[in-house]
Structure 1
Amino acid sequence: MTENRTETFEEKMESLEKIVRQLDEDEVSLEESLKLYQRGVELSSECDKILKDAELKVESLNRKDDGDE
C-alpha cells in the first residue's frame, strides 16, 4: 500500500537540490537530464506557489493586526 500525502516545502526543496546535483554530474544522459530538468521546473513552480501563499497569509495577518489597533 502506498502512502498518499503531499510533500512538504522542505521535502520539495531537498528533491530540487538533489536534481541540481545530479544535473551537475557528467554521467547523466541527455534523456535523463531532460527528465530531471522537467521535474526540477515542476518542483520550482510548486515551491514558488507555496512561498507566495505563505506571503499572502502573512500579509493578511498583518492587515488584521493593523485593524485591531
Structure 2
Amino acid sequence: MTETKSETFEEKMKHLEQIVKQLDEDEVSLEESLKLYQKGVELTAECEKILKDAELKVETLNRKGAEDE
C-alpha cells in the first residue's frame, strides 16, 4: 500500500471512503483492519496536506490581488 503520486485529491478521498465502508460493513481480520486503518491515516494526512497547500495558494493569490488594487 504505497502512495500513488499521480492520485488526485478526489481519488484519495474516494479511496478513503472505500476503506471506511470496508471497515464498517465487511468482516475483516484484525490484521487487515489495522492495515486498512493505517492506510486511512496516511490518506487523511495526504488530503490534509493538499487542502493546506490549496489554502495557502488561495491566500497568496488574495494578497497579490489586494496589492494590485
Once the 2 structures are TM-superposed, how far is the Cα of residue 5 of structure 1 from its aligned partner? 5.2
- Give 5+ residue unaligned stretches, structure 1: none
Q: Report the RMSD for the aligned CA atoms in angstroms.
A: 1.3
Q: Figure out how many residues of one structure are paired with residues of the other and give that number.
A: 66
Once the 2 structures are TM-superposed, how far is the Cα of residue 26 of structure 1 from its aligned partner? 4.7
- Could you report, residue by residue, the CA deviation over 1:1-56 in whole angstroms, capped at 9, with x for unpaired residues? xxx85100000000000000000025111000000000000000000000000000
Is 1:35 the counterpart of 2:35? The answer is yes
Other-structure match for 2:59: 59
Other-structure match for 1:17: 17
Task: Name the CA shift for 1:5/1:53 in 2 (closer, same or farther; >3 Å).
Answer: closer
Percent of matched pairs sharing the same residue: 77
Other-structure match for 1:68: 68
Other-structure match for 1:46: 46
| Stretches (4+) displaced over 2 A | none
For 1:40 and 1:60, the matched residues in 2 are separated by: 30
For 1:46 and 1:26, the matched residues in 2 are separated by: 25
